[in-house]
C-alpha cells in the first residue's frame, strides 16, 4: 500500500500494547478508547510526568534529610551504668525531643531551661544552672530535675587543659563518669566524650582510647550530632530559630532510644557556653585592634 504521508503511516500501524513497557498504562483509567496516535502521545506525556515527579520527590527527600540531619540509631550499649537518672535518662521505645532555652536574664550567664516536647507535649524536664562565682574550682554547671530539684549532672570545667574540657559527674552517687574535651587537632570543630577508667594519655588524641562519643557537625550554625563508638548517630542538636544571640540561644535536641538524655543535654549546654566565650573573645580582640589603629 502507498501512504500519503508519514503521519498517515504511523496512524495506520496496528496498535501495540505498551503496558509491558509503561506499567502505568495498565491502570483502569488508561484511555484505550482514544485513537492510536493520541494513546501514544499520552504514553509519552505520562512517562515524562512520572520521571519529573520522581526527580521532584527525590529532591524533596534529600532536602528533608539535610534539614533533619542524619537518621538516629538506637543506642544498644550505653558505656556506663547506671545512667545519670534511672527514672528519666533513657526511653526505650521512641525518639525523644527536647527544647533548650537559654535564659535572657541570668546572674551566671549559664542558665538554661529545658522542656520535653516529644509528641507535642510541653513538659518541664530539667534546669541547667551555672556557678554564681567564677572562681578556681567553682566554674561549673549543674543539671537539676525540674520536678524534684535533685542535682543529676555536674559539668566541672577543667582549669588547666590544652583544650576546653569538662569533667562529668553523676550527682546521685558523686561518680565521675568521664569528661568532654574539644579535639586539639582536627579539620573541623570536634568534641570527644571519654569514659573514666578506660586508660590512655596525651593531649592530641594519639594515645587516648577511642572516645565513647564524638560530637561533630556545623558548629558555626550550631547543627551537630553525637556518634557512638560504632559510628552510629544517637543524638543530634540544631539551633532553633532564625535569629539568635550569644546570650539567648535556643536549641532542639533529639535523643535516640537507649541513649542517656541527660548526658546529651549537658554536653549541648557546655558546647553552647564554649562557643559563646570564643565569640566574646573575638569581639574583644577586634575592639582592641580598632582602638590601637
Lowest-confidence pick of 43-47, 110-114, 140-144: 43-47
- pLDDT of residue 251 exceeding 80, the answer is yes
Residue 2 is predicted with a pLDDT of 43
d(C-alpha 223, C-alpha 201), whole Å? 30
Question: Across 9-161, where does the E strand assignment appear?
Answer: 96-102, 112-116, 123-130, 140-145, 151-157
User: Which residue shows C-alpha cell 576546653?
Assistant: 164
Residue 7 is predicted with a pLDDT of 44
Contact in structure between 261 and 88 (CB atoms under 8 Å)? yes
Q: Residue by residue, what is the 3-state secondary structure of 186-212?
A: CCCCEEEEEECCCCCCCCCCCCCCCCC
The pLDDT confidence band at residue 94, using thresholds 50, 70 and 90, is very high
Q: Provide mean pLDDT across the span 94-115.
A: 83
pLDDT in tens, 29-38: 445 455 555 5
Residue 230 is predicted with a pLDDT of 95
Q: Residue by residue, what is the 3-state secondary structure of 14-56?
A: CCCCCCCCCHHHHCCCCCCCCCHHHHHHHHHHHHHHHHHHHHH
pLDDT in tens, 215-226: 998 767 778 999
Residue 177 is predicted with a pLDDT of 95
Lowest-confidence pick of 49-63, 122-136, 156-170: 49-63
Contact in structure between 227 and 233 (CB atoms under 8 Å)? yes
- pLDDT of residue 235 exceeding 50, the answer is yes
Q: Provide mean pLDDT across the span 79-105.
A: 92
In the chain, the percentage of residues whose pLDDT exceeds 90 is 42
Highest mean pLDDT among 40-49, 175-184, 246-255: 175-184
d(C-alpha 155, C-alpha 167), whole Å? 6
Q: Which residue has the higher pLDDT, 202 or 17?
A: 202
Residue 89 is predicted with a pLDDT of 96
Lowest-confidence pick of 22-26, 127-131, 211-215: 22-26
- pLDDT of residue 41 exceeding 60, the answer is no
Q: How far is CA 118 from CA 85, 86, 97, in A?
A: 19, 19, 5
Residue 188 is predicted with a pLDDT of 74
Residue 187 is predicted with a pLDDT of 67
- pLDDT of residue 75 exceeding 70, the answer is yes
Q: How far is CA 53 from CA 47, 58, 119, 175, in A?
A: 10, 8, 31, 56
d(C-alpha 31, C-alpha 21), whole Å? 16
Q: Provide mean pLDDT across the span 71-84.
A: 95
Contact in structure between 154 and 140 (CB atoms under 8 Å)? yes
Q: Provide mean pLDDT across the span 171-183.
A: 93
Of 195, 140, 193, 144, which Cα lies nearest the Cα of 171? 144
Residue 76 is predicted with a pLDDT of 95
Contact in structure between 182 and 165 (CB atoms under 8 Å)? yes
Q: What is the mean pLDDT of the chain?
A: 75
Amino acid at each position: 500500500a502507498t501512504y500519503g504521508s508519514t503521519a498517515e503511516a504511523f496512524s495506520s500501524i496496528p496498535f501495540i500494547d505498551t503496558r509491558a513497557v509503561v506499567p502505568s498504562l495498565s491502570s483502569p483509567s488508561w484511555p484505550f478508547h482514544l485513537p492510536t496516535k493520541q494513546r501514544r502521545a499520552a504514553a509519552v506525556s505520562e512517562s515524562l510526568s512520572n520521571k519529573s515527579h520522581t526527580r521532584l520527590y527525590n529532591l524533596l527527600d534529600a532536602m528533608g534529610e539535610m534539614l533533619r540531619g542524619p537518621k538516629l540509631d538506637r543506642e544498644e550499649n550505653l558505656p556506663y551504668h547506671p545512667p545519670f537518672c534511672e527514672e528519666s535518662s533513657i526511653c526505650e521505645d521512641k525518639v525523644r525531643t527536647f527544647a533548650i532555652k537559654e535564659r535572657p536574664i541570668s546572674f551566671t550567664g549559664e542558665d538554661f531551661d529545658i522542656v520535653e516536647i516529644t509528641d507535642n507535649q510541653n513538659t518541664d524536664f530539667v534546669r541547667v544552672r551555672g556557678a554564681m562565682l567564677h572562681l578556681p574550682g567553682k566554674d561549673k554547671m549543674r543539671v537539676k530535675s525540674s520536678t524534684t530539684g535533685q542535682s543529676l549532672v555536674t559539668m566541672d570545667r577543667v582549669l588547666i587543659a590544652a583544650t576546653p574540657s569538662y569533667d562529668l559527674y553523676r550527682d546521685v552517687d558523686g561518680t565521675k563518669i568521664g569528661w568532654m574535651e574539644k579535639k586539639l587537632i582536627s579539620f573541623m570543630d570536634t568534641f570527644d566524650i571519654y569514659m573514666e577508667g578506660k586508660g590512655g594519655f596525651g593531649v592530641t588524641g594519639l594515645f587516648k582510647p577511642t572516645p565513647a562519643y564524638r560530637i561533630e557537625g556545623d558548629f558555626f550554625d550550631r547543627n551537630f550530632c553525637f556518634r557512638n563508638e560504632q559510628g552510629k548517630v544517637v543524638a543530634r542538636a540544631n539551633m532553633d530559630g532564625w535569629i539568635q544571640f550569644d546570650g539567648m540561644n535556643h536549641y532542639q535536641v533529639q535523643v535516640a532510644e537507649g541513649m542517656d538524655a541527660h548526658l546529651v543535654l549537658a554536653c549541648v549546654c557546655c558546647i553552647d557556653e564554649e562557643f559563646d566565650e570564643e565569640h566574646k573573645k573575638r569581639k574583644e580582640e577586634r575592639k582592641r585592634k580598632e582602638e590601637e589603629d
